[in-house]
């Protein structure tokens, strides 16, 4: 059975109705009885896992908050109290403030490169806005502890679920889409991304001179913690 999005259902009853078959309607002939039957007959084993009413409401609320984050003020930001001198952490805090106070209608991609114990490259392109947003819900699949990162107790590291991930020791490349970007390899460009909002193509290849490189503002910052870190800021254009 395909995974369902609880946001597709406006009520728990509508969610239950999705499990009712034509045969249920034909033989039971009562919608309320059919719903009760589905709840009691399915339990934890039917069709993957039927949500209870409380679980449905809670999951729907969390997914809605992820897809429609409210505008926050500066007092609620992870980097609000960062006053250190690490240049990259300063840039993280700056962009978090700009993104969530809506001073900057943009999406930011971060290129982060580190070295394995063998000295080989491990790197990622990261959707910074999504990483910040998901960090507000510890139950999210790819939770990042940004408060600990700004406090110096943890470090942002390349992960296989990022937009693009390269592990030099395994010669492994993984590409994933995010809520803001669709990713695809494209020959000489190395890596192209399409912003899901304005459909602009972004090229992050530093030596490429194609027109897509003009859709991002590229800056490099260095720190003792992260080495050289590249920020690609894409100004999102309003789609009419």
User: 176-212 pLDDT, tens per residue?
Assistant: 989 889 887 766 567 889 998 888 899 888 788 888 8
The verdict on residue 116 lying in a domain is: yes
Final residue of a domain: which of 17, 36, 67?
67
With 70 as the cut, is the pLDDT of residue 39 above it? no
On whether both 22 and 105 belong to a single domain, the answer is no
On whether both 46 and 106 belong to a single domain, the answer is no
Q: Taking the model in full, what pTM does it have?
A: 0.67
Question: Which pLDDT score, from 0 to 100, does residue 52 have?
Answer: 77
On whether both 225 and 112 belong to a single domain, the answer is yes
On whether both 26 and 127 belong to a single domain, the answer is no
On whether both 230 and 147 belong to a single domain, the answer is yes
On whether both 107 and 221 belong to a single domain, the answer is yes
Question: Which pLDDT score, from 0 to 100, does residue 189 have?
Answer: 61
On whether both 180 and 220 belong to a single domain, the answer is yes
Q: How far apart are CA 177 and CA 188, in angstroms?
A: 20
Higher-pLDDT residue of 76, 2:
76
Higher-pLDDT residue of 36, 240:
36
Q: Which domain holds residue 33?
A: 6-67
Final residue of a domain: which of 52, 67, 82?
67
On whether both 148 and 201 belong to a single domain, the answer is yes
Q: Work out the average pLDDT over 63-83.
A: 69
Higher-pLDDT residue of 103, 160:
160
Mean pLDDT of the chain: 80
The predicted-structure confidence for 100-125, as pLDDT tens digits, reads as follows: 876 656 789 999 999 988 889 999 99
On whether both 229 and 193 belong to a single domain, the answer is yes
On whether both 61 and 153 belong to a single domain, the answer is no
The verdict on residue 16 lying in a domain is: yes
Most confident by average pLDDT, 52-56, 71-75, 95-99: 95-99
Answer whether 180's CB lies under 8 Å from 133's CB. Answer: no
Q: For 24-33, 53-62, 90-99, 228-237, which range has the lowest pLDDT when averaged over its residues?
A: 24-33
The verdict on residue 115 lying in a domain is: yes
The verdict on residue 19 lying in a domain is: yes
Q: Work out the average pLDDT over 73-90.
A: 86
Higher-pLDDT residue of 153, 11:
153
The verdict on residue 1 lying in a domain is: no
With 60 as the cut, is the pLDDT of residue 71 above it? no
With 90 as the cut, is the pLDDT of residue 157 above it? yes
On whether both 34 and 81 belong to a single domain, the answer is no
The verdict on residue 51 lying in a domain is: yes
Final residue of a domain: which of 37, 67, 97?
67
The verdict on residue 240 lying in a domain is: no
Q: Work out the average pLDDT over 163-171.
A: 91
Query: How many distinct structural domains can be found in the chain?
Result: 2
With 50 as the cut, is the pLDDT of residue 40 above it? yes
On whether both 55 and 91 belong to a single domain, the answer is no
The position carrying tokens 């995010």 is: 178
Strand ranges of the sheet holding 181-184, from the earlier edge strand across to the other edge? 181-184, 192-195, 201-203
The verdict on residue 15 lying in a domain is: yes
| Integer Rg of the chain from CA | 22
Question: Which pLDDT score, from 0 to 100, does residue 69 have?
Answer: 54
Count other Cβ atoms within 10 Å, centred on residue 49: 10
Question: Which pLDDT score, from 0 to 100, does residue 37 have?
Answer: 57
Joined together, the tokens standing for residue 29 give: 């002939």
């Amino acid at each position: 059975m395909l995974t369902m999005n609880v946001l597709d259902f406006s009520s728990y009853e509508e969610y239950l109705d999705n499990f009712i078959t034509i045969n249920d309607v034909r033989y039971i002939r009562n919608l309320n009885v059919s719903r009760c039957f589905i709840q009691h007959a399915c339990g934890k084993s039917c069709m993957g896992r039927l949500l209870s009413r409380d679980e449905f409401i809670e999951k729907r609320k969390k997914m809605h908050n992820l897809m429609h984050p409210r505008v926050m003020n500066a007092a609620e930001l992870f980097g609000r109290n960062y006053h250190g001198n690490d240049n990259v952490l300063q840039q993280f805090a700056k962009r978090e403030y700009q993104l969530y106070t809506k001073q900057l209608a943009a999406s930011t991609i971060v290129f982060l490169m580190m070295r394995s114990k063998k000295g080989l490259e491990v790197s990622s392109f990261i959707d910074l806005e999504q990483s910040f947003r998901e960090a507000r819900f510890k139950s999210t699949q790819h939770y990042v502890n940004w408060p600990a990162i700004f406090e110096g107790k943890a470090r942002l590291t390349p992960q296989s679920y990022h937009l693009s991930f390269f592990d030099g020791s395994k010669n492994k490349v993984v590409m994933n889409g995010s809520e803001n970007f669709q990713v695809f390899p494209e020959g000489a460009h190395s890596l192209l991304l399409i912003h899901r909002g304005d459909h602009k193509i972004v090229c992050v290849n530093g030596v490429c001179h194609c027109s897509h490189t003009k859709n991002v503002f590229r800056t490099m910052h260095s720190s003792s913690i992260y080495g050289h870190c590249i920020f690609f800021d894409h100004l999102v254009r309003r789609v009419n």
